[in-house]
Amino acid sequence: MKLIFLAAFGLLLCAAKASASDKPNILFIAIDDMRDWTGYSGSAQAKTPNLDRLAKSGVAFTRAYTAYALCNPSRAALLTGLRPSTTGVITNGDDWRVAVPAERPSLPGYLHAQGYLTLGQGKIFHGSKVRKEEWDEYAKDGEREEKDTDKKDWSLRPGKTEGGFIIGSNDIAPLDSPEEELVDYKTASFGVAQLGKTHGKPFFLACGFHRPHLPWNVPRKYFDLFPLESITLPELKADDLADLPKEGVMMAKAGEFAAIRDLGKYRECVRAYLACIAFTDAQVGRLLDALEKSPHKDNTIICLWSDHGWHHGEKEHWRKSTLWEEATRAPLIWRVPGVTKPGGVCTRPVDFLGIYPTLCDLTGLPLPPHLQGTSLKPLLADPQAAWDRPAISTMHDGNHAIRTERWRYIHYANGGEELYDEQADPHEWTNLADKPEHAAVKADLAKWLPADATPQAAKAKKKKKKP
């Protein structure tokens, strides 16, 4: 069976590589930990002029969801086209290169094998988990990665700069150092330089920005965009965990959010997060400007995404790693010459497993047989096209969320459930899972739960030795 797979895959590569020279370029922009706080999505206080202009020039997906609300599993799923429940990559420490064999190539690996020039800098995969042979040039920066552990120290300490403070190990601080010294600025500069060059073959240019990932420290001018007294805090419900199964209560980790509020730094943290979004938006703007001035302007696909969202107290939770809307929903914007039209807005629920097959579809390349997602090309051409697939998100072993335009259904490994009517209850404040009148809705949504989501399968995959 493996020989047949490899032979078929080899034929795909040969057929695609022969016609690679006439393929469009791809500008692939990744943002870390950014929830859907953007101007184009309706946020009243986010300042994202560059994301907004990109959205106006293409199609913005307002219901785009991660496969897993944590950096490594999310990126591994998006870039390999395989769900976390299939690979067993469910922590930041899991190595996707071990779980996913080379004959099931990642997105850059597949494009590289088909004749694309693959160029990257910054955070694309999590940490140093890349296959160097898949890249013609890849520059990892020195940014500190968040470890896959809970921060136990929630004490408040003075920061190193005026107006800054430290909670746990994370700086929340306006910086007075030059913007050019920051790694995200350097990543944008790498992209700008590559866009200014003439390349002998189509390129896949990946630029991965760290902010708004912690620590929230960017130049002071971005903090100044958000006077503290102007910050509007999220609308919260005092007893929001009261109707959740115990698995949901445990996932919320309410103590972390309580510590932020008790330290009196809730508003400052929201401000710092917004400042980091504005900083990253400026770096995206530098890439867009460079593309507009380049010879590649009319033959370059843009795909911009964030790996997952972030809670700022909703469901009494701080950070990511949940199955609710705030952690699973993230920006996704496409601009595709000859396919998208300016000002497109798609409200269909999609997840990031669709990105890999979409890029294959748009470039006319055959789809690798291992992909588990569905191409989004029909929605790029017509954002209101019929779409009968939900978005699927996973957290830990066997816990999943199914998101349709109306419903979010969460099913935990031991049988606990949550159900939210997103039309009537966009805050997800009322769990309807125990209401008999919704039994048919749950049964219908449950059909989409990943069939291979078993703890045993995940553990078996983790035991594989790195080649």
Question: Residue 185 is inside which H or E element, if any?
Answer: helix 183-195
Pairwise CA distance, residues 263 & 279, whole Å = 26
- Asked if 400 is an active-site residue, the reply is no
Phi/psi at 386 (nearest 5 deg)? -60, 140
Q: Which amino acid is at 332?
A: L
CA distances in angstroms from 393 to 308, 402, 463, listed in the order given: 10, 7, 24
Catalytic pick among 112, 126, 308, 396: 126
Continuous H helices in 294-404: 325-328, 355-362, 377-381
- Asked if 207 is an active-site residue, the reply is no
Which residues lie below 8 Å from residue 104, measured CB to CB, with a gap of 6+?
80, 82, 368, 370
Pairwise CA distance, residues 405 & 63, whole Å = 8
Beta partners for 207?
29, 121
Six-digit token string for 68:
């897993």
Beta partners for 401?
393, 410
Continuous H helices in 299-338: 325-328
Continuous H helices in 196-316: 220-223, 246-252, 254-262, 266-293
Nearest to 268 by CA among 168, 177, 146, 174: 174
Nearest to 403 by CA among 380, 415, 414, 419: 419
Residues 196 and 238 sit within 8 Å (Cβ to Cβ): no
Catalytic pick among 71, 269, 276, 360: 71
Continuous H helices in 91-180: 96-99, 107-113
Nearest to 147 by CA among 124, 116, 115, 170: 170
Six-digit token string for 236:
């919260």
Pairwise CA distance, residues 107 & 28, whole Å = 11
Question: What is the DSSP code string of 67-82?
Answer: SBSSHHHHHHHHHHT-
Pairwise CA distance, residues 194 & 200, whole Å = 12
Q: Which residues are catalytic?
A: 71, 126
